[in-house]
Amino acid sequence: MVKTFKYIILGGGVAAGYAAREFAKQGLKPGELAIISKEAVAPYERTVLSKSYLHPEFPSRLPTFYVYAGPRREILFPEWYSEKGIELILSTEIVKADLAAKSLTSAGGETFSYQILLIATGSTVIRLSDLGVQGADAKNIFYFREIDDADKLYEAIKAKKNGKAVVVGGEHIGMELSAMLRCNNLDVTMVYPEPWCMSRLFTSDIAAFNEGYYAKKGVNIMKRTVVVGFTANSDGEVKEVKLKDGRVLEADIVVVGDGIRPQTALFKGQVEEEKGGIKTDGFFKTSVPNVYAVGDVATFPVKLYNELRRVEYAEHACQSARKAVEAIKAAEEGKTVEEYDYLPVLYSHQFGHAWEFYGDNVGDTVLFGDSSPESSIPKFGSYWIKDGKVVGAFWQGRIEEERDAMAYVARVRPSVQNVDELAREGFSFARKI
């Protein structure tokens, strides 16, 4: 039997929750909308998984972090969906999508049809076994994307109390998981090939603070080398991590945060792609009529920079979902909405230290404030300057008090006359704009 809906959201992650909230806000009849998700739980705030979910004493657990999408950031519990007549079709993986026939087929053989499809399938991790790394299928080598992955890691942390953990990758996930493993009192070593951590965003100065802070907290960092293999014990559990430079690290747990790729395989050859994602316009419409793509999978026009980009940030997942639904509903009434006007936002916190970034990290940089890892209350920032204008703003430590000003600077891109003066002014430059 074919189950038919007016709207289907494919994927049950961050974007799906915010899209559902927007559909409900804009007006939805019971039975019109379904969310189909491989995961067994309703949409939740994925960013919590690598942070408080692994807290040693007070780990966050559902229902406290189902997406909080409303104006007062109310939590969308599973009952919210049933009250709104939204069907949550969970533990259901779609294995075939026929966009011309407007139909989706699940691994269990069910068929779903729709009038409008919102693709929100997010990203999947890149596995070391796919890259041919020897021994990468040993037990206790973990990847981290969904709540099941977090549960498995949490169990391993408990089982390998005070053991040794190796984290592969020095980007966002590697940084957050290293901090949480260390908070759980594991002996943690990070391994990454780049000259410094978070090298896609951080300058060497920002990284110097963070690496110094991690060292102070007891995290070992091995840079400029890669993992080439693993050995396992007689139970098949990982025992050693072999590095390209010849060093060998003991390990009870390995966590790999070595990159992700957008989940677009279902739609290959059916929809236009760009920069690894599904190409959309500024309303998240794809090249196929009545098919929209949002969140990590969408390659969309960034008006501010006049170029197409694909980003893997939570804030974009929320905002793109809202915009797509606004556009869908407006089109039904013959109206139009403003095009998406995205300002990149990325945030994180580790060891109780938060940072935020707004804008574009291109051009020259200026560091200001107290960026010594030894300070009792470090607080510093960095601006990126391109063509004489501030285009990006990063800051770390007591973030709330600077957020509005720093976001505004990145949005309006003020001119800079004197870079030395900018470094002296620091946060006050942003506050006076």
By CB under 6 A, name the binding residues for ligand FDA: 11-16, 36-39, 46-47, 49-50, 93-94, 120-123, 144-146, 173, 263, 266, 295-296, 312-315, 317, 346-348
Please, which residue, 312 or 366, has the CB nearer to ligand FDA? 312
The Cα–Cα gap between 71 and 238 comes to 46
Q: Least distance to ligand FDA from the beta carbon of 121, Å?
A: 4
Please, which residue, 65 or 313, has the CB nearer to ligand FDA? 313
Q: Least distance to ligand FDA from the beta carbon of 288, Å?
A: 17
Please, which residue, 252 or 296, has the CB nearer to ligand FDA? 296
Q: Least distance to ligand FDA from the beta carbon of 396, Å?
A: 14
- State the number of CA atoms in the 13 A half-sphere of 312 facing the CB: 20
Q: Least distance to ligand FDA from the beta carbon of 277, Å?
A: 10
- The bridge status of strand 260-262 relative to strand 164-168 is unpaired
Q: Least distance to ligand FDA from the beta carbon of 51, Å?
A: 7
Please, which residue, 38 or 182, has the CB nearer to ligand FDA? 38
Please, which residue, 133 or 278, has the CB nearer to ligand FDA? 278
Residues forming a β-bridge with 261: 124
Tokens of 83: 């009250």
The Cα–Cα gap between 260 and 13 comes to 15
Q: Least distance to ligand FDA from the beta carbon of 403, Å?
A: 14
Please, which residue, 347 or 351, has the CB nearer to ligand FDA? 347
Are the C-beta atoms of residues 187 and 161 closer than 8 Å to each other? no
**DSSP letters for 329-363:** HHHHTT---PPP----EEEEEETTEEEEEEE---S
Q: Least distance to ligand FDA from the beta carbon of 202, Å?
A: 14
Please, which residue, 192 or 267, has the CB nearer to ligand FDA? 267
The Cα–Cα gap between 107 and 93 comes to 6
- What is the C-alpha radius of gyration for the chain, rounded to an integer number of angstroms? 23
Q: Least distance to ligand FDA from the beta carbon of 18, Å?
A: 8
Owner of token pair 């070593």: 189
Strand spans (E) along 62-204:
87-89, 94-98, 103-106, 111-119, 123-125, 141-142, 164-168, 187-192
Where b means 16+ CB within 10 Å and e means fewer, 143-171 reads: bbbbbebbeebbebbeebeebbbbbbbbb
Owner of token pair 């990070």: 190
Q: Least distance to ligand FDA from the beta carbon of 46, Å?
A: 4
Q: Which residue is nearest to ligand FDA (CB)?
A: 13
Strand spans (E) along 171-330:
187-192, 220-223, 227-232, 238-243, 248-250, 253-256, 260-262, 273-274, 277-279, 291-293, 298-302, 307-309
51 CB neighbour count, 10 Å cutoff:
18
Please, which residue, 75 or 243, has the CB nearer to ligand FDA? 75
- 206 burial (CB, 10 Å; 0-12 / 13-18 / 19+) is buried
Please, which residue, 11 or 163, has the CB nearer to ligand FDA? 11
